[in-house]
Homo-oligomer: A and B are copies of this chain.
Amino acid sequence: MDPFLRIYLVAPWESWSFGDFARSLAVRLVCSGFRVVVGSRNPKRKASLFPSAAEVTFQAEAVKKADVIFVAIFREHYSTLCDLADVLVGKILVDVSNNTEINHHKESNAEYLASLFPACTVVKGFNVVSAWTLQSGARDGNKQVLICSNNQEAKRIVAEIAQVMGFTPVDMGCMSSACEIENIPLRLLPAWKIPIFLALGLFLCFFTYNLIRQVIHPYIREQKNKLYKIPIEVVNTTLPCVSYVMLSLVYLPGVLAACSQLYYGTKYRRFPDWLDQWLQHRKQIGLLSFFCAALHAVYSLCLPMRRSHRYLLIETAVKQVTGMTIWVEEEVWRMEIYISVGIIALGLLSLLAITSLPSIANSLNWREFSFIQSSLGFIALVISTLHTLTYGWSRAFDENQYKFYLPPTYTLTLLVPCTVIIAKVIFSLPCIRHRLLRIRRGWEKGRYVKFVLPSATGEFSSGETSSNV
């Protein structure tokens, strides 16, 4: 990197108070050892806003001194730079702007800038970085800076500037990627959309089902007003259902992928798009499952705190004054067991959630990560199943539990998880396991190639990604 590279920052009249992008950029550039010249129509007024090491001067003068020019103005003011077209010839213009909506304009800002100044080299970059990251980022780690341009050399120079500033430049190819790059900062958690809708959908279904069983049924059959159960009790029977089904949905696509591989006898065949999508959303589905499980725990812990619980307790006590003891050994055992099993499941899920944190996941090697997420996660699913079964106890065979002929909720939730567990057990049978491993190391049905399976347990690190589905 040429230490004498001079960088010019176009300082628009509509400009910066606290936290502004251009000012932050200037500060960071100065801190990284670049010579920064800021152009402004009113240098005196602006000078106080910039670090003293940055020279603030008139635009035309500033442009002459610079090799690389950061254009930190809004798209609608690009045309105000046309007066400087002569001095800009041959310079590198870095477009740092963002759009206001996804695909707002037909052409990207960078392409528009390039069309205005055909004699300049335009590089798109730094738009994914926020002013806040520029100010504080060096401490928080390395954000990517996505860069694209039609000119390799200009791209290289801007990439080096980004690297010196502590960012990781990523080459996104030629100018046609600018549109894509400009859309990135407008994205709103795209990976979470499907999982969240899935969770909400499941919640609604189970909530309605439980509402019918717990509130509507007693009202219609016995004229009992149980509406007070809605805010806590109905929600708290719904949450574990959602959590439990979501957890099994984390492991279902892996089972489907293995089935597909076994059926076609190859791993070269791409999975259908929906399965690929599903495989990529497992982390989000798992975290939502954990979130529901945690809420379920808090709701459950609140149960004995409630006024209604207290009233019911006193009522029972008063009723029993005349009567016999009411200790039902079976009920005691049921509750002791399902609570303790539930706590263990929650503890395991917490471990899974913690290892999903980027900073923890980064410090694990692949084997450790897959051991926790795949093996421990599956154990959590098995323990959750135990929790559900002990909670249900013998209620599935009790006629009184079938309200409006609707079976107890817990029997419904067992469907998907048990399928997954049975499938996993089948896949771990030696004959099927061996075949799966061979397929994942590249063996193909019908292609008779001599193949040496090195070992049954280990795999090439690469293979793991798909084998842990």
Contact = CB atoms under 8 A, between A and B. Distances in A.
Given A22-B462, A138-B168, 15 more contacts: A13-B442, A17-B269, A17-B271, A19-B466, A100-B459, A104-B455, A127-B461, A130-B461, A138-B144, A138-B170, A231-B339, A298-B301, A302-B343, A303-B305, A314-B316
A270 interface: yes
A223 interface: no
A277 B284 CA distance: 36
A313 B311 contact: no
B185 A461 contact: yes
A465 B298 contact: no
Nearest to A77: B452
A276 interface: yes
Contact of A367 (B187, B294, B335, B350): B187
Interface of A: 3, 12-22, 24, 31-33, 53, 72, 74-76, 97-101, 104, 127-128, 130-132, 138-144, 152, 155-156, 159, 166, 168, 170-173, 184-189, 228, 230-232, 235, 267-271, 276, 279, 291, 294-295, 297-308, 310-311, 313-318, 320-321, 325-329, 331-337, 339-340, 343, 346-347, 350, 357-369, 371, 441-443, 449, 451-452, 454-455, 457-466
Contact of A333 (B166, B170, B228): B228
Contacts of A33: 152, 155-156, 159, 171
A461 B314 contact: no
A167 B329 CA distance: 61
A454 B140 contact: no
A74 B339 contact: no
B98 A461 contact: yes
Contact of A461 (B131, B155, B457): B131
Binding site secondary structure of chain A = helix
Contacts of A307: 328, 331-332, 334-336
Contacts of A131: 461-462, 464-465
A367 B102 CA distance: 12
Contacts of A142: 141-142, 166, 168
21 contacts: A17-B269, A17-B270, A18-B271, A21-B461, A21-B465, A32-B170, A98-B460, A100-B455, A130-B462, A138-B144, A141-B142, A142-B142, A185-B366, A187-B368, A231-B336, A295-B347, A301-B302, A305-B339, A307-B332, A308-B332, A311-B327
A232 B340 contact: yes
Contact of A336 (B16, B306, B466): B306
Nearest to A357: B359
Given A311-B327, A346-B298, A339 B185 contact: no
B302 A339 contact: yes
A37 to B, nearest CB: 17
Contacts of A141: 141-142, 358-359, 362
Nearest to A301: B301
A100 B458 contact: yes
A460 B72 CA distance: 10
Nearest to A456: B100
Contacts of A20: 462-463, 465-466
Contacts of A340: 231-232, 235, 299
Interface centre among A139, A326, A457, A465 (most CB of B within 10 A): A465
Contacts of A279: 18
Nearest to A336: B231
Contact of A173 (B53, B99, B104, B228): B53
A383 to B, nearest CB: 13
Contacts of A306: 332, 335-336, 339
Contact of A313 (B12, B314, B464): B314
B343 A295 contact: yes
B339 A232 contact: yes
A253 to B, nearest CB: 11
B460 A97 contact: yes
B130 A74 contact: no
